[in-house]
Structure 1
Amino acid sequence: MNRFLRLFALLTLAAFTLAACGNQAASSPTQAPAPTDAPAKIVVYSGRSESLVGPFFTQFTQATGIQVEVRYGDTAELAATILEEGANSPADLFFAQDAGALGALAAAGMLAPLPADTLNQVEPRFRSSDGLWVGISGRARVVVYNTNKLTEADLPRSITGFVDPQWRGRVGWAPTNGSFQAFVTAMRVQLGEEAARRWLEGMIANEVKTYEKNAAIVQAVAAGEIDVGFVNHYYLYQLQRQSGNTLAAANYYPADGDVGALINIAGVGILKTAKNAPAAQRLIDYMLSTEGQRYFAEQTFEYPLAGNVQPDPRLKPLSEIQTPQIDLNQLRDLQGTLQLLRDVGAL
């Protein structure tokens, strides 16, 4: 609990700092340097776990000779750390698991604009509207369900339907997870503050089971401990690979533009204070290259966003997901979401 008090305090401090600075940061943006004469080492703050992206950084070093020093942690906490460190942050690049944390840093004037040729490799909906961050891979919110107990026809078309008493004690969530918090932020944007609060309170009243991580939710669903859970799409495929494809679980995508089918991104931004910005830009270039996109498609089962790389054939095509029409740039109010989750007792 204390870490969320610290995180909320840091985000509040950042908001006051941003207000005091006015438009000063925006009036003199610093362009991220082109990838020439790159130094031999960069520091990355990664909200993505070492098990997911550690091999990718090794692959990058082998391909370029650039060493990568990585600090792993929770995306929201790392964003708060960068805000706390300010101009003294050792980080060159922030690799976030959702757009909201990148948006919070962008709003605080911490990120440098990226080159147009970098941004243009990705669809506009998967990048910052002001050019401060870019998506690397796509991640869909889904409802994972136990296939021995349920079919898709048994599931509500909207994520809001799980407050119905028939789902009492049968659902799992991970409220400390950054992806879940981004989803709640999206719900606040799409449905409004009070509707989001009522849904959270309804889920708690319906005895939702709390887990620390998404993978634990998928495992609990497959084991029959719970019937459904709110997760990102790729956890199922990662666990299927580990278990030999024997899990009694499948992903369900809510329909009709429901917020439960949000497509978020894992993305990156270069800090204005980066000491090794050219090398950081080379890392972004590699992430968006065919080699980089293949890694995320084949190793983490995410949606590639560049390089004409196709996703794993088991994934539902992005074009077929009835995702909500939410601008990812609107998901930056992490502070408000953390406060809401604390208010209702989810944190």
Structure 2
Amino acid sequence: MLFRHRVRVGALVAALVLPLAACGGDQAGADSLVIYSGRNEGLVGGLLDQLEDAVGMPVEVRYGGSAEMAAQLLEEGESTQADVFFSQDAGALGALSQAGRLAALPADVLDLVPEKYRAHDGTWVATSARARVVAYDPAQVAEADLPANADDVLDPKWRGKIGFAPTNASWQSFVTGLRVLRGDDGAREWLTAFAANDPQSYKNNGAVLDAIDSGQISLGLVNHYYWYERVAERGRDAVTTQLHFVSGNDPLALVNVAGAGVLAGNDSSDAAVSAVRFLLSEQAQRYYADTTAEYPVTPGVTSTEHDLPALSDVQSPDIDLSQLASLQETLAMLQEVGLT
């Protein structure tokens, strides 16, 4: 069955844990470029609408969660109609790379971004970046009391006062980063202590910010750009919440990336590479900086709409983003400690 320009992928079970049913039939072919997008349509739909001119052929997009789409691609294998995977996080890209499902990108594409924002084997490249931050209510939290590191949020004084979004990919990537940095035993110890501190769970980062703004909780663990988008929409005076960027090479300061890769054996390799190149163009990088409040990853592009601290000033832990691929193990650990 043919799918239209945007078809949402429904809820898929246990991303990267349980197999997914493969897409059937001749849904698309070499006459169109097919993108599986783990990025939300509301965030990037306007950008992907501009792709047809860049690649010189019709573009068809499927939307879903990054982990869900990666699982779908692994299930479909070489029979997939997808040409490009556009992911919300590096972990899903790493999972496909490890499975041999991504083709190496040409050097002229890889060289558009710093080395730390691309796969070591050249199979994917970052398109934008975002930082983990602590959002807080200044009426409840003095600046001097803000957490200096991940272990500070385990203090009993924050019991029942911290919000997080357990099903959000950014939270799961943070936990994967914690596992990489501290090992599974260290990560499990932290998560167990965090769970014992009665954190409040919300459906997404926006709901965490809502809870802080209304005074329900004091702190929230979110990505930076949700706050900047809110300020742009409502005005700074209408947003109670403030942001705290943790320093000192701590897991709570993890900078993760959205990124893209070309599926191995796809039918439109030249157009697929052109699509990835477009996502790194000044036009696209400006879109991330001004529309989604994310960090551009190509040098020389900054936001004209949001007062973002420089990405170089964010003290992210020294981590190989390719190592964020072990999402299945992260999900199992989160279930084990009761944080799902």
Name the residue aligned to 1:327: 320
Aligned residue pairs, count: 319
Residue in 2 that maps onto 1:75: 66
| Partner SS for 2:134 | strand
- 1: distance between equivalents of 2:161 and 2:53? 46
Distance 1:240 1:275, change over 3 A: same
Tell me which of 227, 248, 252 is aligned to 2:240: 248
Look up the match of 2:16.
Answer: 7
Question: 1:337 aligned to 306, 330, 336, which one?
Answer: 330
Aligned to 2:287: 295
> 1:162 and 1:341 mapped to 2: Cα distance?
17
Letter in 2 for 1:308: G
- Give distance in 2, aligned partners of 1:82 and 1:64: 22
Q: How far apart are residue 285 of structure 1 and its match?
A: 1.3
Residue 264 of structure 1 corresponds to 256
The equivalent residue for 1:221 is 212
Unmatched 5+ stretches in structure 1: 12-38
Q: Which residue does the alignment assign to 1:52?
A: 43
- The answer to whether the Cα contact below 8 Å between 2:176 and 2:326 also exists between their aligned partners in 1 is yes
- Measured on the aligned residues, the alpha-carbon RMSD in Å equals 1.8
Shift of 1:7: 3.3
Work out whether residues 75 and 101 of structure 1, in 8 Å CA contact, stay in contact via their aligned partners in 2.
Answer: yes
Q: Deviations over 1:52-94 (max 9, x none)?
A: 0001011233555533211111111111111111111121111
Deviation at 1:3, TM superposition (A): 5.3
Whichever residue aligns with residue 314 of structure 1, its letter is D
Question: Aligned partners of 1:276 and 1:191: how far apart in 2?
Answer: 41
Report the Cα distance in structure 2 between the residues aligned to 1:307 and 1:6, rounded to whole angstroms. Answer: 34
Name the amino acid aligned to 2:253: A
Structure 2: unaligned runs, 5 residues or longer: 1-10, 21-29
Q: Which structure is higher in helix share?
A: 1
Mark the CA change 1:209 to 1:4 in structure 2 (over 3 Å): closer, same or farther: farther
TM-score (norm 1): 0.88
Query: Pick from 239, 249, 255: which aligns with 2:230?
Result: 239
Amino acid at match of 1:173: F
Q: Does the 8 Å contact 1:10/1:84 carry over to 2?
A: yes
The alignment partner of 1:299 has SS state of helix
Q: Compute the TM-score of the two structures, normalised by the length of structure 2.
A: 0.89
Q: Which amino acid aligns with 2:136?
A: Y
Structure 1 pair 268–163 and aligned structure 2 pair: CA distance change class (3 A): same
- Tell me, in whole angstroms, the C-alpha distance in 1 between the residues paired with 2:37 and 2:315: 30
- Partner secondary structure for residue 266 of structure 2: coil
Which stretch shifts more, 303-312 or 268-277? 303-312
- Aligned partner of 1:143 among 128, 134, 138: 134
Q: Deviations over 1:129-175 (max 9, x none)?
A: 11000000011111111122224321121122111110011111112
- Which aligned pairs between 1:88-237 and structure 2 lie closer than 5 A? 88-237=79-228
In structure 1, the partner of 2:266 is: 274
Q: Does 1:308 align with 2:300?
A: yes
1-side partners of 2:54 and 2:108: how far apart?
21
* Cα shift at 1:221: 1.3
C-alpha distance in 1, partners of 2:56/2:235?
Answer: 35
Determine the C-alpha separation between the residues in 2 that align with 1:128 and 1:253. Answer: 26
